[in-house]
């Protein structure tokens, strides 16, 4: 089997091979003979049409099917024989060839880069050293109380910490509308920072049934390209101003979290805080490792993998914004996605290579623990059905995650770690309790 492989730009490879006429024609004849025994052709009884007639009716179609099968088989056999690692699907070029003539096939594809991972031992890491305080616990309890809070209508003007129910209409500076330019019964929490910069501040001091008009400039990097960097005019009417009232930490409140009472609930809060702190510190170290590996390994990347990652980021971004998912990516967004996509592909290749070099295999106990976590996150209780744990696509994803965790543990164990003092709120990325929030004496 004669196969020629040439290198193109970067990781591009061009493979050329020949399908001999005898092999192609014999396979076509074989399929036609099988087909003739069950073919239905007008003028002949079922399965009784002569081979020549069957060839006349189906020969061209059968030849294309056989050609596709042979090309795929020869391509993958050649990839294995040449020890190639394709990173993209091949683009085949197959010039027309008459029966009895050989077919020359050209396949163009990208391969995975060949490299050894650098800088993976002795990574310098700064690990937070945290002492949790009573104030930290009180802050977390306040946030949990907010999950069970009530909003009471008030007749006064809206303050920071209040929630305002509004109807609104918006338009661009040229008077045109846009998707999402109207809303009815929308709740806006002042000071939460969830809206377009300036929107919450513009509602400060508003009263029930009051109408306001104001203009805002949307950020240049806003997710909707039509609004990015544009001025938008708003007309807003307040339907209600609500004041936040926090519940007391009593037996009824604690039982709503599935605990027996206050003492057990507070103990679970402290245990949960410790667990989440450990996870946050580990995530911090993981991120630092990723940054170090990306910096130390500026490898050449297959364009096909980067392009796929760009598309994945684009789809995910649109879903998060609640927008219709489209495959078309504007140039401005593509430019924004490029850096993140290249980083993700780099890390994927580096992690894969390190796992291969270290000969890591998924630890069964870790895989089972991850499957249990997956079950809890999907609202399932007790033992999972056997098919869930053995479904190939789910198990493959979980095993990849387990291998990544094992690799991170390996890297942390060999890192040069400097412990630095930090607070619980700093590590968890939490804000200090809102001074404007109601006091613990506020009634539910």
Kindly indicate the confidence band of residue 314, based on its pLDDT and cuts at 50, 70 and 90: very high
Same domain, 190 and 216: yes
Backbone phi, then psi, for 206, in 5-degree steps? -70, 150
Same domain, 256 and 379: yes
Place of tokens 């616990």: 137
Give residue 444's pLDDT.
Answer: 30
Backbone phi, then psi, for 421, in 5-degree steps? -70, 135
Residue range 32-37: average pLDDT?
74
Identify the CATH number of the domain in which residue 26 sits. 3.30.70.1050
Place of tokens 């050989």: 102
Same domain, 296 and 231: no
Gap between the Cα atoms of 347 and 43, Å rounded: 64
Tally of helices (H runs) and strands (E runs) in the chain: 12, 11
Residue 62 above 90 pLDDT? no
Residue range 409-414: average pLDDT?
96
Same domain, 230 and 262: no
Q: Residue 413 corresponds to which tokens in the numbers above?
A: 């164990």
Same domain, 171 and 279: no
Identify the CATH number of the domain in which residue 381 sits. 1.10.3120
Same domain, 178 and 303: no
Among 193, 211, 245, which residue terminates a domain? 245
Among 188, 219, 245, which residue terminates a domain? 245
Kindly indicate the confidence band of residue 387, based on its pLDDT and cuts at 50, 70 and 90: low
Give residue 325's pLDDT.
Answer: 83
Q: In which domain, by residue range, is 12 found? A: 3-110
Same domain, 283 and 379: yes
Give residue 252's pLDDT.
Answer: 92
Same domain, 219 and 263: no
Kindly indicate the confidence band of residue 441, based on its pLDDT and cuts at 50, 70 and 90: very low
Of 51-60, 145-154, 204-213, 345-354, least confident by mean pLDDT is: 51-60
Residue range 290-299: average pLDDT?
97
Say if residues 18 and 105 touch (Cβ distance below 8 Å): yes
Residue range 90-99: average pLDDT?
88
Q: What is the DSSP string of 374-399?
A: HHHHTT--SSPPHHHHH-HHHHHHHH
Is residue 183 one of the residues assigned to a domain? yes
- Where residue 132 falls (left for φ over 0; alpha for ψ -120 to 50; beta otherwise) is beta
Residue 38 above 90 pLDDT? no
Is residue 211 one of the residues assigned to a domain? yes
Of 101-115, 141-155, 288-302, 426-440, least confident by mean pLDDT is: 426-440
Residue 434 above 80 pLDDT? no
Give residue 350's pLDDT.
Answer: 97
- Report the percent of the chain where pLDDT is more than 90: 65
Residue in 12, 5, 6 with CA at minimum distance from that of residue 301? 12
Q: Domain total for the chain?
A: 3
Pick the more confident residue, 29 or 185.
Answer: 185
Same domain, 260 and 386: yes
Give residue 285's pLDDT.
Answer: 97
CB-CB neighbours of 43 under 10 Å: 6
Give residue 99's pLDDT.
Answer: 80
Residue range 352-363: average pLDDT?
95
Kindly indicate the confidence band of residue 431, based on its pLDDT and cuts at 50, 70 and 90: low
Residue 439 above 50 pLDDT? no
Of 125-129, 220-224, 233-237, 395-399, least confident by mean pLDDT is: 220-224
Residue 48 above 70 pLDDT? no
Is residue 442 one of the residues assigned to a domain? no
Mean of the per-residue pLDDT values for the chain? 88
Residue 437 above 60 pLDDT? no
Gap between the Cα atoms of 42 and 50, Å rounded: 12
Is residue 433 one of the residues assigned to a domain? no
Among 199, 218, 245, which residue terminates a domain? 245
Residue 443 above 60 pLDDT? no
Kindly indicate the confidence band of residue 423, based on its pLDDT and cuts at 50, 70 and 90: very high
pLDDT in tens, 206-228: 999 999 999 999 999 887 888 98
Gap between the Cα atoms of 373 and 439, Å rounded: 36
Gap between the Cα atoms of 207 and 184, Å rounded: 17
Give residue 43's pLDDT.
Answer: 65
Is residue 119 one of the residues assigned to a domain? no
Contacts of 181 (CB under 8 A, 6+ apart): 169, 170, 171
């Amino acid at each position: 089997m004669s196969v020629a492989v040439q290198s193109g730009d970067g990781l591009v490879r061009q493979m050329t091979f020949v399908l001999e006429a005898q092999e192609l024609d014999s396979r076509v004849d074989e399929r036609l003979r099988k087909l003739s025994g069950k073919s239905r052709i007008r003028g002949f009884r079922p399965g009784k049409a002569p081979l020549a007639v069957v060839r006349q009716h189906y020969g061209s179609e059968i030849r294309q099917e056989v050609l596709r099968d042979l090309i795929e088989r020869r391509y993958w056999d050649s990839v294995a024989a040449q020890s190639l690692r394709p990173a993209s699907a091949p683009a085949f070029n197959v010039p027309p060839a008459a029966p009895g003539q050989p077919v020359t096939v050209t396949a163009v594809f990208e391969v995975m880069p060949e490299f050894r991972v650098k800088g993976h031992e002795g990574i310098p890491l700064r690990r937070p050293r945290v002492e949790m305080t009573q104030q930290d616990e009180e802050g977390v309890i306040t946030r949990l109380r907010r999950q069970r809070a009530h909003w009471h209508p008030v007749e006064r003007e809206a303050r920071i910490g209040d929630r305002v129910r509004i109807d609104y209409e918006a338009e661009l500076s040229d008077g045109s509308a846009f998707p999402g330019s109207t809303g009815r019964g929308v709740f806006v929490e002042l000071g939460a920072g969830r809206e377009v910069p300036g929107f919450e501040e513009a509602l400060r001091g508003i009263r029930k049934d009051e109408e306001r008009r104001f203009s805002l400039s949307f950020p240049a990097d806003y997710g909707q390209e039509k609004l990015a960097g544009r001025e938008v005019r708003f007309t807003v009417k307040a339907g209600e101003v609500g004041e936040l009232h926090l519940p007391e930490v009593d037996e009824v409140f604690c039982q709503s979290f599935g605990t027996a009472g206050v003492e057990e609930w507070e103990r679970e809060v402290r245990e949960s805080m410790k667990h989440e702190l450990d996870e946050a510190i580990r995530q911090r170290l993981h991120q630092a490792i990723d940054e170090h590996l990306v910096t130390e390994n500026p490898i050449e990347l297959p364009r096909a993998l980067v392009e796929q990652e760009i598309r994945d980021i684009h789809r995910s971004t649109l879903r998060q914004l609640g927008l219709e998912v489209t495959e078309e990516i504007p140039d401005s967004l593509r430019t924004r996605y490029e850096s993140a996509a290249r980083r993700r592909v780099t890390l994927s290749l580096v992690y894969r290579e390190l796992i291969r070099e270290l000969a890591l295999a998924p630890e069964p106990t870790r895989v089972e623990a991850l499957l249990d976590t997956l079950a809890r996150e999907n609202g399932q209780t007790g033992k999972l059905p056997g098919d869930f744990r053995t479904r190939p696509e789910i198990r493959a994803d979980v095993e990849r995650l387990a291998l990544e965790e094992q690799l991170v543990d390996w890297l942390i164990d060999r890192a040069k770690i400097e412990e630095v003092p930090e607070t619980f709120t700093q590590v968890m990325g939490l804000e200090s309790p809102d001074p404007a929030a109601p006091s613990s004496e506020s009634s539910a």
